Structure 1
């Protein structure tokens, strides 16, 4: 008969299954990835703050994505790095720490969608209503969109975790590299029907709103581009929208992989890998994609390096 420990406040993290030979290599790869994420996202955020030419709605909204990536990676990767160097029996975490990490993890995943949705709205206004862009996308509107993106995510995730922490726990093993909502409610021996219903509804609503807004936005942008004979407008639309769309597809594919693999316990190792890649891949690629495509950012960096070279 299986032994149960009810409502224990000390949990064990399963973490990554790595051999002693590969432990330091995996540690080094994740550490380098974390450093890259922090340098790129902090760097591009500072550039946007420092350079007045970048005080545009598109870049100010993109700052939200950088902040989300910084919070998500900082709350997940350092803990993961420390666990890699410990034997499985010593990978312990308190229940409250796990709840906080799960909340931040789910918030990070949700804001990835909501922030990209408000960025899609910005691109729609810029291309479909260029003459009214400055009148619509005021500082007040940017602030409203930012608060909405974070506020909606905070409320939805708060309800999600609230339904989970009400459950009594009879297990202590978190079968994941880090804490998330699914790993937490799997510790319970009670019925989790309500959690599954809300979790499924939460996922469907978020993905429907996210994908639906992208399809609607890009359909209208495509129509405008096809009916317009302005080559400059079409070129600008292609450049900015392709950047946004690539970032969105990377995030969508990474998140969908985790959700799918959670339904197949036999692929737990692949799920753990995809969970880590969801943090690393978008976080490191987003600032690179926007930095390469942005003429203003390239110009600022060029002038900065030129001034250092002359000095």
Structure 2
């Protein structure tokens, strides 16, 4: 017999089991983590926006990465900081759905933005003579629009399929809300949701990994054929930076997806993996690009020195 539909708008988050002693350290850690992510990503964004030397296709596409990282981080940390401070263990159903929606936008956006950046590097290194003709401002805007539109359509359909179903449970065994957690509340057949979710993951991963594998093979071939050691070194350094960020994201994402499929896995470890996937990439991405990309590094250091000397 089916359970009655629960019309309660308040959900219980079982992932938070903080003692009175642990509330302040947890709040301090989450606040400092978010402030670090905010500072690093805003610094990268402002460096690109305020310096005309960086108004190039590569950096205009890169600009979307910190925007996307802040979207995911803000969705997660706003709830975590509130919860660690109040220790209420509850969240409104609407707030939970909104949080989950933006977390999935972040996850999909990260993959597609990095794929777009790989395409840009492929054109720049393998087709340098056609680069300015292909990567015009209009085409860059089309590429960026296609990335964000794809994110909102794919995730919009995912949450339409979720919201059409009634829910009869109110406990989420996680520290934040996402689609798998919300599906555990549903008291109806979720086969369509599960199939669609797996198809979205499979298609985006196959597209992203296929595109990056192809572009990087072509880039490596072009670099090894090049007679200019400076060009080769610069190209490989740029690609290494991009590949580091992509592999970091893929590893955390893969571990998180697998953790939901392993029933015997400790729920505490699953929560830890989920949080790490939402903390580490947004914190490390701007640092990796800032330290490894010569133009960004030099402009950032020069700006900081001017600020220090002005005092």
Q: Is the Cα–Cα contact under 8 Å of residues 8 and 169 in structure 1 kept in the other structure? A: no
Matches of 1:7 and 1:295, distance apart in 2: 55
SS of residue matched to 1:262? helix
Whether 1:291 and 2:290 are equivalent positions in the alignment is: yes
Q: What residue in structure 1 maps to residue 93 of structure 2?
A: 95
Whether 1:149 and 2:141 are equivalent positions in the alignment is: no
Q: What residue in structure 1 maps to residue 159 of structure 2?
A: 161
Whether 1:48 and 2:48 are equivalent positions in the alignment is: yes
Whether 1:224 and 2:183 are equivalent positions in the alignment is: no
TM-score where L is the length of structure 2: 0.94
TM-superposition CA deviations, 1:190-220 (whole Å, max 9, x none): 1111111111111111111111111111111
Q: What residue in structure 2 maps to residue 249 of structure 1?
A: 247
SS of residue matched to 1:93? strand
- Aligned-residue offset at 1:86: 3.4
Specify every segment of 5 or more residues in structure 1 that has no aligned partner in the other structure, as ranges: none
Q: What residue in structure 2 maps to residue 280 of structure 1?
A: 279
- Root mean square deviation, CA, Å: 1.8
Q: What residue in structure 2 maps to residue 69 of structure 1?
A: 69
Q: What residue in structure 2 maps to residue 35 of structure 1?
A: 35
Q: 1:9 to 1:302 in 2, by over 3 A?
A: closer
Matches of 1:214 and 1:198, distance apart in 2: 24
Q: What residue in structure 1 maps to residue 189 of structure 2?
A: 191
Q: Is the Cα–Cα contact under 8 Å of residues 30 and 81 in structure 1 kept in the other structure? A: yes
Q: What residue in structure 2 maps to residue 269 of structure 1?
A: 268
- Aligned-residue offset at 1:307: 3.1
- Spell out the pairing of 1:16-31 with structure 2 (5 A cutoff): 16-31=16-31
Q: What residue in structure 2 maps to residue 211 of structure 1?
A: 209
SS of residue matched to 1:11? strand
- Spell out the pairing of 1:83-122 with structure 2 (5 A cutoff): 83-87=83-87, 90-122=88-120
TM-score where L is the length of structure 1: 0.94
Q: What count of residue pairs does the alignment treat as equivalent?
A: 309
Q: Is the Cα–Cα contact under 8 Å of residues 14 and 171 in structure 2 kept in the other structure? A: yes
- Aligned-residue offset at 1:227: 2.1
Matches of 1:101 and 1:307, distance apart in 2: 39
- Aligned-residue offset at 1:278: 1.1
Matches of 1:105 and 1:98, distance apart in 2: 11
- Aligned-residue offset at 1:78: 1.9
